[in-house]
């Protein structure tokens, strides 16, 4: 790029930043996240967020404004914002008393409950970096990630005791106890109940946090962030309406980016987080009805399971309060969009993003009626581009390309030193996408999932979306496998719907009737379930690719 081009790009970026800032402020003001009628408080909160992080800041703010507002409801009962704020202070002071210093890393492996929320707020206030571990880890994975991240102390639920056993007893603290704490192991609830609740010294800078990638292709990478724009919440609030001081049922894991972000923004609005340690479809409906929840945060497979309860069970619960259902974490099949909105009304918001690029696009209910399965449009301060294999920009409609994103929530690289490809300031998502004639974006599949079969490019997700609409199919995965004649062919794994027995010939005939002949799976395998991680993503590497016996 020549000097003139660089100057043009710099000028464009400055103009966009000014426009984005103004637009984001309007979004946050209109949503209630900031109050420009009290500019001093807003400025003080923004300054504090740079030192302790957004979560610790908003917990303290809501606690001062609405101390009696319920902050969290879980199996242990209800905590107000004042109580959550005091707990965060007590744990932060204990971290300092344990000798941990600013920038040190502690880990947490926990389900969704008060202990996890307390740790997120407390580490920010203490200037400690928090690494949120995946609850689906096996011990070798856990140990490798803990070593890579340099974790000095571990906070954990009792069910993960075997995983953390290599940490010395004085470096372990239980965040949830099902039976009885072993001798010599501290319990977070005891620290929260008896610790020093005075505000700890404010750190000189925010230590950041580490959210692990989904790890569907290997060992999860640590995505680090220590700098967050005070306007990053606008990425969500621009296209997803959230209430103030109402209830939000969050069943998407908070240790992952979607659950974390949605809980953080919901907290900034003073909402009550209704949490469950394990997802149960009927209990989710019960929680919505009991708390008159206006928001549900989930992953697509959870919506499948709710709908699978059947009309009779669903009708037992009054879910009329539900206005916003946010899903993310894996592809949203078009058939699921239609079934959900036909059952629960036009409430569905499909959030597309990743641990690395944050929120890139959101499909609103009207988008999903027009183009089911779409990821919609980018929110304020998010920009999408397509590039071909030669890194040339693709601008034509309905032509797929590699999707790249630039927005106001920059990813600072993986903790192992690697990063993503960047072109003209746009970061690779690893997905193939296209933009349709309505201006809506669609994901075609992972760029490394594409196969070439007999000279034709195939994206398994297209076939998956079709089969997901089959009345006899409850879940489906499609992968490429070696084929002597065509190089690669498709293999479909089918989980039958309850009471149904689809045959291989019926599945092939269904695909043949709706798609091109070369997209018909060579193999159809009926299975009991599919390998998915705790965030609902399909773990394709665990599906057999060799000869079928």
pLDDT tens per residue across span 243-300: 999 999 999 999 888 899 999 999 999 999 999 999 999 999 999 999 999 999 999 9
Residue 355 belongs to some domain of the structure: no
- The mean pLDDT of 436-446, rounded to a whole number, is 93
Determine the average pLDDT of the residues in 64-75.
97
| DSSP notation for 90-120 | HHHHHHHHTT--TT-EEEEE--SSHHHHHHH
- Residue 322, pLDDT above cutoff 90: yes
How far apart, in whole angstroms, are the C-alpha atoms of residue 264 and residue 24? Answer: 17
Structural domain span for residue 499: 449-542
The Cα–Cα gap between 104 and 95 comes to: 10
408's CB contacts (< 8 A; 6+ apart) are 20, 24, 229, 231, 232, 234, 235, 381, 382
User: Sign of torsion, CA 433 434 440 443?
Assistant: negative
Question: Is 148 inside any structural domain?
Answer: yes
Question: What's residue 415's pLDDT?
Answer: 52
Give the pLDDT score at 411.
58
- Flag whether 469 is in a domain: yes
Helices (H), 345-502: 365-370, 460-468
Dist CA 327 CA 324 (whole Å): 10
154 occurs within a structural domain: yes
Please give the pLDDT value at position 458. 84
Is the model's pLDDT at 484 over the cut of 90? no
**Domain's final residue, options 213, 228, 243:** 228
* pLDDT > 90 fraction of the chain, expressed in percent and rounded: 64
Distance of alpha carbon 279 from alpha carbon 398, whole angstroms? 37
Query: Does residue 207 belong to any structural domain of this protein?
Result: yes
Out of 206, 228, 250, a domain closes at 228
- Residue 412: name the closest of 202, 144, 229, 535 by CA: 229
CA–CA–CA angle 266, 267, 269 (5° rounding) = 70
Other beta carbons within 10 Å of 264: 21
Quick check: is 383 in a domain? no
Rounded to 10 degrees, what is the CA torsion of 531, 537, 538, 541?
A: -90
Q: How far apart are CA 395 and CA 148, in angstroms?
A: 40
In a domain, 104, yes or no: yes
Q: What is the pLDDT of residue 217?
A: 42
Contacts of 22 (CB under 8 A, 6+ apart): none
Tell me, yes or no, whether 403 lies in a domain: no
Instruction: Please give the average per-residue pLDDT across 136-154, as a whole number.
Output: 90
**Confidence at residue 228, expressed as pLDDT on a 0 to 100 scale:** 57
Is 540 strand, coil or helix? helix
Q: What is the CATH number of the domain that holds 529?
A: 3.30.300.30
What band does 46 get if pLDDT is binned at 50, 70 and 90?
Answer: confident
Residue 73 has pLDDT above 70, yes or no: yes
For residue 463, give both structure tokens.
């076939």
Domain boundary (228, 254, 276) is at: 228
Helix/strand/coil for 15: helix
| CATH label of the domain that carries residue 169 | 3.40.50.980
Q: Distance of CA 401 to CAs 44, 361, 398, 445, Å?
A: 43, 16, 10, 10
How far apart CA 71 and CA 271 sit, in angstroms, is 7
Pick from 67, 62, 73: nearest CA to 33: 62
Structurally, the chain folds into a number of domains equal to 2
pLDDT per residue as tens digits for the range 352-397? 987 777 889 999 999 999 999 999 999 998 999 999 989 999 999 9
Q: Which of 405, 323, 395 is nearest to 364 (CA)?
A: 323
Q: Rounded to whole angstroms, how far apart are CA atoms 321 and 286?
A: 12
CA distance 216 to 237: 29
pTM of full prediction above 0.85: yes
- Residues 154-187 pLDDT 10s: 999 999 999 999 999 999 999 999 998 888 899 9
For residue 372, CA distances in Å to 114, 350, 540 come to: 36, 10, 24
pLDDT tens digit sequence for 194-222: 999 999 999 999 888 888 765 444 455 55
**pLDDT at residue 223 tops 60:** no
What token pair was written down for 387? 């590039």
pLDDT at 483: 87
Assigned token pair, 303: 């919506």
> What's the mean pLDDT when you consider all of the chain?
89
What does the pLDDT look like over 449-464, one tens digit per residue?
888 887 788 889 899 9
- With pLDDT > 70 as the criterion, what percentage of the chain qualifies? 91
Angle at 296 between CA 295 and CA 302, to 5 degrees: 170
Q: For 12-16, 229-233, 521-525, 527-531, which range has the lowest pLDDT when averaged over its residues? A: 12-16
């Amino acid at each position: 790029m020549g000097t003139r081009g660089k100057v043009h790009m710099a000028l464009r970026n400055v103009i966009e930043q000014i426009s984005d800032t103004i637009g984001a402020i309007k979004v946050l003001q209109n949503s209630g996240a900031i109050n420009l009628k009290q500019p001093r408080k807003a400025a003080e909160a923004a300054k504090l967020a740079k030192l302790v992080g957004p979560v610790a800041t908003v917990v303290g703010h809501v606690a001062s404004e609405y101390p009696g507002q319920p902050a969290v409801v879980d199996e242990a009962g209800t905590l107000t914002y004042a109580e959550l704020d005091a707990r965060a202070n007590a744990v932060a002071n204990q971290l300092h008393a344990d000798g941990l210093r600013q920038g040190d890393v502690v880990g947490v492996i926990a389900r969704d409950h008060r202990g996890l929320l307390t740790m997120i707020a407390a580490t920010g206030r203490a200037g400690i970096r928090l690494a949120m571990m995946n609850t689906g880890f096996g011990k070798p994975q856990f140990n490798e990630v803990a070593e890579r991240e340099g974790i000095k102390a571990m906070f954990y639920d009792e069910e993960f005791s075997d995983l953390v056993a290599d940490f010395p007893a004085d470096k372990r603290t239980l965040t949830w106890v099902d039976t009885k704490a072993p001798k010599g192991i501290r319990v977070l609830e005891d620290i929260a109940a008896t610790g020093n609740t005075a505000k700890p010294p404010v750190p000189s800078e925010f230590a950041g946090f580490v959210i692990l990638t989904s790890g569907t292709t290997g060992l999860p990478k640590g995505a680090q962030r220590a700098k967050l724009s005070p306007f990053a919440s606008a990425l969500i609030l621009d296209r997803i309406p959230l209430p103030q001081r109402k209830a939000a049922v969050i069943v998407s894991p908070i240790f992952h980016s979607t659950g974390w972000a949605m809980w953080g923004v919901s907290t900034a609005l003073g909402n009550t987080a209704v949490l469950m340690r394990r997802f149960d479809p009927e209990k989710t409906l019960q929680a919505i009805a009991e708390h008159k929840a206006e928001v549900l945060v989930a992953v697509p497979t959870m919506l499948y399971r709710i709908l699978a309860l059947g009309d009779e069970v669903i009708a037992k619960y009054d879910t009329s309060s539900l206005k916003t259902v946010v899903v993310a974490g894996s592809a949203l099949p078009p058939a699921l969009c239609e079934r959900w909105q036909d059952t629960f009304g036009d409430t569905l918001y499909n959030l597309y993003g990743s641990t690395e690029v944050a929120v890139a696009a959101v499909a609103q209910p009207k988008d999903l009626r027009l183009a089911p399965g779409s990821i919609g449009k980018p929110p304020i301060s998010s920009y999408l581009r397509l590039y071909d294999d030669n890194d040339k920009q693709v601008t034509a409609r309905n032509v797929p390309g590699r999707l790249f994103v630039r927005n106001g929530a920059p990813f600072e690289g993986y903790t192992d030193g690697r990063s993503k490809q960047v072109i003209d300031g746009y970061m690779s998502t690893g997905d193939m996408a296209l933009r349709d004639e309505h201006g809506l974006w669609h994901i075609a599949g992972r760029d490394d999932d594409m196969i070439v079969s007999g000279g034709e490019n195939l994206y398994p997700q297209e076939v998956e979306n079709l089969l997901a609409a089959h009345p006899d199919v409850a879940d489906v995965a499609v992968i490429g496998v070696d084929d002597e004649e065509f190089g690669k062919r498709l293999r479909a794994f089918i989980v039958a719907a309850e009471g149904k027995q689809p045959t291989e010939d019926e599945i092939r005939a269904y695909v043949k009737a709706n798609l091109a002949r070369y997209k018909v799976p060579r193999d159809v395998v009926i299975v009991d379930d599919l390998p998915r991680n705790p965030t609902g993503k399909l773990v394709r590497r665990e599906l057999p690719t060799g000869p079928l016996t």
